[in-house]
Amino acid sequence: MAQEKKLVESITSRDEDFAQWYTDVVKKAELTGYTSVKGCMVFKPAGYAIWENIRNELDRRFKETGVENVYLPMFIPESLLNKEKDHVEGFAPEVAWVTHGGLAELQERMCVRPTSETLFCDLYQKDIHSYRDLPKIYNQWCSVVRWEKTTRPFLRSREFLWQEGHTAHASAEEAEARTEQMLHLYADFLEDFLAIPVIRGRKTEKEKFAGAEATYTIESLMHDGKALQSGTSHNFGDGFARAFGIQFADKDNQLKYVHQTSWGMTTRLIGAIIMVHGDDSGLVLPPKVAPTQCVVIPIRQKAEGVMEKSEEINTALLAAGIRSKVDASDRSPGWKFADQEMRGFPMRIEIGPKDVERGECVLVRRDTREKIQIRIEDAAEGAQKLLEKIQKDMFERALAFREAHTYTAEDYDSFRDIADHKPGFIRAFWCGDEACEDQIKADTTATSRCMAFGDDEAPEGSRCVCCGKPAKKLVYWGKAY
């Protein structure tokens, strides 16, 4: 294998230089490309196909809960952005401004949406009059723009793809239920579909979304021990409704403000897949999200029966619903193995003349490289079972990794020691004071990731890891992307 791998350009070792390894994988698996547009990325076919699978599956899950898709303008007039005070403060410094349309200067400049709360409020203000008009459970798939100074493919770029759900409800309870429902939908999606375990929890006041009453988050752990905020769900209460005047006549004939939520996931999920599952041979895609799940690789393809059996196996796999293809190019088998591994296809099937003689073929797992000899007629069923097992094992492995990299800090010395030497999550008590979050960040670069659902209680007598005052919450801390 060593020699064959050289046929494909080599990748920097993951443990040697994680950032360079990431860049290499993204490039060599041909997920992204570059144009002259600074800070913006190109999603090439292999990268975009992953996003399509994410989008289709999420969209299916959304619709099961009553979500309806819409599309709103990409521009936001400055006066509209300015309507909610906290919100504009959060976003104005990082938006792109359109000042001219055609040959004329605009009377009012507009930003390219960094997020669309203000536009949905504008629409809801026009469309919601009665309790009969509620709830609105809208979502849109689009791109948004945030003028980042430093960028990295998938993780941080000036334009990225996402979905943003925006809902309006008659009651605070219903809004809160939707906020939590979507957070759990996101969490289940990551765990089930992307094989990425997550911590579900609530953001502190300091870390919550601009304009939100409460922000819930799912946090996942990358292989380098850094946290990635992987999806957020916000409860706005009636703050936006008051700023935009979104009122409805309720059943009791009283005029009331609606309660709103928003929730989003982005193409940074592709970065999470890479950084949780990838290895020194390249990308490793969980079977459910992999655009190609299996490659059949003929060995000595001119030998009698090899191509014929390869096609036969591939046809059987396709019929079983497996996204499979034959690599019949004129490259060597070793080059093809390395290429399949680089691109992260979850498994391959090798078949050569001797296999054909015996009526067998070899299934090879991408994640463990385990080889399984199997009868050709059993290949499709075997592949199906193997893909299920790979999906499950990848999740278990990522979970074990996270558990092995989650530490508890009893005092500030131990906190700083863990932060300096043990990449991962740090569980530690906190007094609830933003000053301690600032102090911890200044000392360690770690931030409060979340207060986990059902696991955020600070027992009586516990002390803040930073200031030593009585603690209010148990917090997951970590250095984050």
Q: Answer yes or no whether residue 94 interacts with a copy of itself by CB under 8 A.
A: yes
Q: Answer yes or no whether residue 189 interacts with a copy of itself by CB under 8 A.
A: no
Q: Which is nearer to a copy of itself, 30 or 360 (CB)?
A: 30
The answer to whether 92 touches 86, Cβ cutoff 8 Å, is: no
Q: Answer yes or no whether residue 282 interacts with a copy of itself by CB under 8 A.
A: no
- Which of 37, 172, 319, 400 is close enough to bind a copy of itself by CB under 8 A? 37
With contacts defined by CB under 8 A, how many residues of the chain interact with a copy of itself?
A: 54
> What letter represents residue 111's amino acid?
C
The answer to whether 472 touches 458, Cβ cutoff 8 Å, is: yes
Q: Which is nearer to a copy of itself, 20 or 69 (CB)?
A: 69
Q: Answer yes or no whether residue 320 interacts with a copy of itself by CB under 8 A.
A: no
What pairs with residue 426 in β-bridges?
Answer: 407, 477
- Which of 18, 21, 22, 48 is close enough to bind a copy of itself by CB under 8 A? 48
Residue 152 DSSP one-character state: B
Q: Answer yes or no whether residue 123 interacts with a copy of itself by CB under 8 A.
A: yes
Q: Answer yes or no whether residue 72 interacts with a copy of itself by CB under 8 A.
A: yes
* Segment lying near a copy of itself (by CB under 8 A), choices 123-131, 187-195, 222-230, 453-461: 123-131
The answer to whether 298 touches 307, Cβ cutoff 8 Å, is: yes
Cα atoms found within 13 Å of the Cα of residue 285, Cβ hemisphere only: 30
* Window 400 to 459, contacts with a copy of itself (CB under 8 A): none
β pairing state of 136-145 and 68-69: parallel
Q: Answer yes or no whether residue 69 interacts with a copy of itself by CB under 8 A.
A: yes
**What phi and psi values does residue 457 have, to the nearest 5 degrees?**
-85, 130
**Secondary structure (3-state) at 352:** coil
**Secondary structure (3-state) at 194:** coil
Cβ-Cβ contacts under 8 Å for 377 (sequence gap 6 or more): 359
CB 290 to a copy of itself: min, Å: 16
The answer to whether 296 touches 313, Cβ cutoff 8 Å, is: yes
- Which of 26, 110, 283, 356 is close enough to bind a copy of itself by CB under 8 A? 110
- Which of 3, 16, 100, 421 is close enough to bind a copy of itself by CB under 8 A? 100
Q: Answer yes or no whether residue 75 interacts with a copy of itself by CB under 8 A.
A: yes
- Which of 6, 10, 19, 45 is close enough to bind a copy of itself by CB under 8 A? 45
**Binding-site string for a copy of itself from residue 161 to residue 180, where x marks contact by CB under 8 A and - marks none:** x-------------------
- Which of 98, 303, 372, 467 is close enough to bind a copy of itself by CB under 8 A? 98
* Segment lying near a copy of itself (by CB under 8 A), choices 6-14, 66-74, 419-427, 451-459: 66-74
- Which of 7, 74, 177, 328 is close enough to bind a copy of itself by CB under 8 A? 74
Q: Answer yes or no whether residue 77 interacts with a copy of itself by CB under 8 A.
A: yes
CB 133 to a copy of itself: min, Å: 11
Report how far residue 164's alpha carbon sits from residue 185's, in angstroms, rounded to the nearest whole number.
14
CB 209 to a copy of itself: min, Å: 19
Residues across the chain? 481
Cα dihedral sign, 329-322-141-217: negative
Q: Answer yes or no whether residue 478 interacts with a copy of itself by CB under 8 A.
A: no
Q: Which is nearer to a copy of itself, 112 or 212 (CB)?
A: 112
Q: Which is nearer to a copy of itself, 260 or 448 (CB)?
A: 260
* Segment lying near a copy of itself (by CB under 8 A), choices 42-50, 315-323, 346-354, 372-380: 42-50
What pairs with residue 217 in β-bridges?
Answer: 201, 232
- Which of 52, 86, 312, 443 is close enough to bind a copy of itself by CB under 8 A? 52
The answer to whether 422 touches 405, Cβ cutoff 8 Å, is: yes
CB 460 to a copy of itself: min, Å: 47
- Which of 101, 321, 359, 468 is close enough to bind a copy of itself by CB under 8 A? 101
Largest CA distance in the chain: 82
**Secondary structure (3-state) at 478:** strand
| Helix (H), strand (E), coil (C) string for 435-472 | HHHHHHHHHHCCEEEEEECCCCECCCCCECCCCCCECC
**What phi and psi values does residue 340 have, to the nearest 5 degrees?**
-60, -40
Cα atoms found within 13 Å of the Cα of residue 367, Cβ hemisphere only: 22
- Which of 11, 29, 80, 465 is close enough to bind a copy of itself by CB under 8 A? 80
Report how far residue 410's alpha carbon sits from residue 178's, in angstroms, rounded to the nearest whole number.
36
Report how far residue 440's alpha carbon sits from residue 464's, in angstroms, rounded to the nearest whole number.
11
Q: Which is nearer to a copy of itself, 42 or 404 (CB)?
A: 42
* Window 127 to 146, contacts with a copy of itself (CB under 8 A): 127, 138, 142-143, 145
Residue 294, CA distances (Å) to 148, 235, 350 in order: 37, 42, 11
β pairing state of 199-202 and 447-452: antiparallel
List of residues contacting a copy of itself (CB under 8 A): 33-37, 40-45, 48-49, 51-52, 68-77, 79-80, 93-103, 110, 112, 119, 122-123, 126-127, 138, 142-143, 145, 147, 149, 158-159, 161
